[in-house]
Amino acid sequence: MTDMEKKRMVKLVAGSAVYTLATLKTRSILDKKIQRQPHKDIAIQLNSTFWAICLILYNYHMKKE
């Protein structure tokens, strides 16, 4: 495995870990802060959509390198 491939793997693992932690943290914050159910559902859907877009952009960036 070349140095470039090793660096890419480290970036991929680190990015995935940050993505997972950020998603879980925002989800727990939303669960604590939002009490009314309809607003909670909308907030969680928006949060999930936001993080899905972030993941897509991250994967695109990693494939581009």
pLDDT band at 37 (very low <50, low <70, confident <90, very high): low
Task: Indicate whether 40 pLDDT > 70.
Answer: no
Helix (H) or strand (E) holding 64: helix 37-64
Is pLDDT at 57 greater than 80 in this prediction? Answer: yes
Q: What pLDDT shows up at residue 65?
A: 60
Mean of the per-residue pLDDT values of the chain: 78
Question: Can you tell me the distance from the alpha carbon of 27 to that of 21, in angstroms, rounded to the nearest whole number?
Answer: 10
Distance in angstroms (rounded) separating the CA atoms of residues 43 and 40: 5
In this structure, are residues 61 and 51 in contact, taking their beta carbons and an 8 Å threshold? no
For residue range 15-28, list pLDDT tens digits in order: 888 888 888 887 77
